[in-house]
Structure formats: structure tokens, C-alpha cells
């Protein structure tokens, strides 16, 4: 625990905490706190520590909340030069955090019109949680981190709107030798764009991208295109494939432009569609599983909870270092709200991966994704497909067959 969490201990734009002179080892032997002489910086120290000398792990969370408040307002935690009643930032500003209208009046004037009101409101609500008088009611720093990551993700991303001519040029007129994949939605091409301007350049130069082109006769493809733009335009995470932009030139020319994933899909590696691929090592498989799990955990924890709905090996793409990124949000759904446990929707997805309760009822739960993740884990353990009619009778469905041995 550090009983001196203050802003001048954060240096550069990549934050690193310094000055551990007042840090203490946390409670041991089942104790909830340590008792110590009250020292630290006034205005940041948690009220229970100031009053009793009892230092809790969540006393740090209070200090973090004070710093969040400073970042929202651009004002110091304690400033005697401010008018009477405003010296202590927490006491003065805290009431303004309960109303969106009032929050706007205390936001840092130096960043006026440069921030998302929605993100600022969420940060204010997180600040209130951190500043709870009772440490038992404060979130853990793990919870705080997860909420901050969600806030970061909702910041509106600027997607480039491409012309059809630009993407045609970037793929050498959608030439067959630039095709890198094909699915129900359409065909994926490799293209080349300028690193800074994202304008088309000659093949082999600039930034390599993946360009997905809708099949013109696919009505479902139009809906999936809209879903991809919505979710990947809204969300950002290291384990989600990055959407760079899109093209809509009438309903028969719908395209999406993504970062390029040079190692292809997990599906290709597990089932050796390319005989030149080496089998994935156990450590690499575990690394991929962890990355994919982080992506799903992020989706499920976001403010607008997202159910991916079509989790499978072919939707897990790999960068040059085998870091996993989930792609293909065409079937994703916003999760339940207002106390509901599930959403009801038409049964779609891939046989063998879809959760049994969803297939039977159309009820889609957040944990329906967990079932699909379990199927992929089973594929990673066995290198056998979820469904394979070429296997002997009784072994077509991997889950039904292999769970007897797990």
C-alpha cells in the first residue's frame, strides 16, 4: 500500500508511480488493515486513515479517486488560494458529480469541447465510487482498471470513409492473387495503403491492410456489415481486430478495412489448411487462449454489454507474434439490460459452437459465449474440429464425443 498517492508522482504520458517512501506492507494473518502513524499528503489521504490510523488496501483507492477528480477538474486537491469553501477539492466538487449538468460546470476549462461528455460522466461516477467514505464500499483497483478501460473504449473512434475506387486501387482491382480468405459475408483481400493518409499505394509499399468485400447477393451480409461498423467503431481493445474504415457505395458495394493479421486465423493453424504451417506449440496455444479470453472478458464488461454470439477458431486472428484478436462482429448483440438475464433472438451462429440453451430456446446469455470459448479450448487441446462428418459415427460432434474423456 502507498499512503502518498499524489499527482506529482506521475511522470510523462506513460504513468509510472514513484516515491515509495511511505509505502507499507499490507495486512497479514487475516487482518483487514494495518495500524500506523498518520502521515501522507493532506487532501489525498483516506478519511478512515486520517481519523484512526487504520490503513486499508482500499485507502489507496480513495487517493486514486482524488487524482481522478483532479484530472476531471484541472484543480489541485488542496488549494488555499481558492475561495472559502473551495479549498478542499473533494468536499467542494463531490456534489457536482451527481448531475451531468453540474459536472459540466466543474470540468477543466482547458479541455472544453475536447472531451466526450459520456466518457466524462462515466469517469465522474467511477470517481464517486473511489471516494466512498467507507473503504468496504470502494471498488478494488482491478475493478477501477476495468471500468477505465471501458471508458477508453467508448470514446468515439474516427473511422475513415473510403471510396470504392480507392479500395479497388489498393487491391489491384480486387485481383485473385490478393485474396486471403472467404466466408459467408464475402471475400477478404490484401491491400496496401499509405501509413499516414490511408490512400492507396503500389503493392508492396506502405501499410498492409485486410479489405473485406460484401457478396452483392447477401442480404444477411448487409446486416453484418452494419453490425461490424457499429461494434468495432465503438470498441477498442488490444485483442479486438482494429477497424480502420469502411466504404458504402450503394448497397451492392459494402467494404470494411482492417489491420492486417499476418499469421491468419487460429482455424488455419489448428487444422493445417496450409501443410507448410508448423503445429502450434502448447505455450503458443495457451497465449492465444489468454488473448481471446481477454477480448471476450472486455466485451462482457463493457458499459453496453456485448455478446459476441459466434465465437470460433476461424474468428480468432493472429498477428506476427501470435497475439490473438477477435474479428467478425457480424452476429454480435448488445447484452441484456434492465435486470434481464438474456436477450431473445433468432438462432444464428455456427453449429458445434453455439450454446445448447441458445439453440433450444433462442435465449442468448452472456455465458453463451463462454460455451463457445470452451469448444475452442477443446479444439486447441485436440486439434480436432467442433463438427466433422468425416469422423466415425458417434464422433462427429467433438463436444459430445470428447467430454467423455475430459
- Residue 343 near residue 334 (C-beta atoms within 8 A): yes
Grid cell, residue 108, equals 477543466
Grid cell, residue 306, equals 456485448
Grid cell, residue 25, equals 506492507
253 carries a ligand binding annotation: no
How far apart CA 199 and CA 193 sit, in angstroms, is: 5
- Residue 280 near residue 196 (C-beta atoms within 8 A): no
* Of 310, 319, 388, 402, catalytic: 310
- Residue 141 near residue 76 (C-beta atoms within 8 A): no
DSSP 241-307: PPEEEEEESSTT-EEEEEE--TT-BHHHHHTTSSTTSPPPPHHHHHHHHHHHHHHHHHHHHSSS-EE
Residues in the chain: 406
Distances (CA, A) of 136 to 32, 36, 45, 56: 10, 19, 16, 9
Asked if 60 is an active-site residue, the reply is no
How far apart CA 369 and CA 158 sit, in angstroms, is: 28
How far apart CA 131 and CA 68 sit, in angstroms, is: 10
How far apart CA 216 and CA 322 sit, in angstroms, is: 33
Provide CB contacts within 8 A for 34, sequence distance 6+: 1, 24, 25, 26, 27, 54, 55
Positions at the binding site for ATP:
213
**Enzyme catalytic residues:** 310
Positions at the binding site:
213
Amino acid at each position: 500500500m502507498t499512503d502518498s498517492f499524489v499527482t506529482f508522482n506521475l511522470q510523462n504520458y506513460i504513468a509510472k508511480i514513484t516515491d515509495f517512501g511511505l509505502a507499507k506492507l499490507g495486512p497479514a494473518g487475516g487482518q483487514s488493515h494495518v495500524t500506523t502513524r498518520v502521515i501522507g499528503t493532506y487532501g489525498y489521504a483516506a478519511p478512515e486513515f486520517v481519523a484512526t490510523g487504520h490503513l486499508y488496501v482500499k485507502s489507496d483507492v480513495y487517493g486514486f479517486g482524488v487524482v481522478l477528480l483532479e484530472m476531471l477538474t484541472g484543480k489541485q486537491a488542496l488549494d488555499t488560494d481558492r475561495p472559502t469553501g473551495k479549498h478542499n477539492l473533494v468536499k467542494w466538487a463531490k456534489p457536482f458529480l451527481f448531475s451531468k449538468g453540474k459536472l459540466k460546470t466543474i470540468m477543466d476549462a482547458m479541455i472544453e469541447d475536447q472531451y466526450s461528455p459520456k466518457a466524462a460522466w462515466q469517469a465522474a461516477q467511477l470517481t464517486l465510487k473511489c471516494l466512498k467514505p467507507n473503504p468496504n464500499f470502494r471498488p478494488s483497483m482491478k475493478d477501477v482498471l476495468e471500468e477505465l478501460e471501458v471508458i477508453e473504449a467508448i470514446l468515439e473512434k474516427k473511422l475513415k470513409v473510403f471510396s470504392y475506387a480507392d479500395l479497388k486501387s489498393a487491391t489491384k482491382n480486387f485481383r485473385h492473387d490478393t485474396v486471403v480468405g472467404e466466408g459467408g459475408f464475402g471475400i477478404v483481400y490484401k491491400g496496401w495503403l499509405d501509413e499516414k493518409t490511408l490512400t492507396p499505394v503500389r503493392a508492396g509499399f506502405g501499410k498492409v491492410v485486410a479489405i473485406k468485400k460484401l457478396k452483392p447477393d447477401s442480404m444477411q451480409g448487409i446486416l453484418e456489415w452494419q453490425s461490424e461498423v457499429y461494434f468495432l467503431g465503438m470498441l477498442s481493445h488490444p485483442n479486438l481486430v482494429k477497424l480502420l474504415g469502411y466504404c458504402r457505395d450503394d448497397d451492392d458495394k459494402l467494404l470494411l478495412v482492417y489491420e492486417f493479421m499476418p499469421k491468419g486465423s487460429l482455424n488455419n493453424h489448428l487444422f493445417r489448411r496450409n501443410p507448410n504451417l508448423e503445429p502450434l506449440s502448447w505455450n503458443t496455444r495457451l497465449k492465444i487462449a489468454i488473448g481471446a479470453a481477454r477480448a471476450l472478458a472486455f466485451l462482457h464488461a463493457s458499459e453496453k454489454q456485448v455478446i459476441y454470439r459466434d465465437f470460433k477458431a476461424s474468428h480468432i486472428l493472429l498477428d506476427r507474434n501470435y497475439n490473438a484478436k477477435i474479428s467478425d462482429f457480424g452476429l454480435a448483440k448488445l447484452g441484456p439490460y434492465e435486470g434481464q438475464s438474456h436477450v431473445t433472438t433468432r438462432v444464428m451462429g455456427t453449429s458445434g459452437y453455439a450454446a445448447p440453451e441458445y439453440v433450444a430456446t433462442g435465449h442468448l446469455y452472456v455465458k453463451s459465449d463462454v460455451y463457445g470459448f470452451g469448444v475452442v479450448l477443446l479444439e486447441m487441446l485436440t486439434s480436432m474440429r467442433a463438427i466433422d462428418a468425416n469422423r466415425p459415427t458417434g464422433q462427429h460432434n467433438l463436444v459430445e464425443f470428447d467430454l467423455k474423456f475430459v
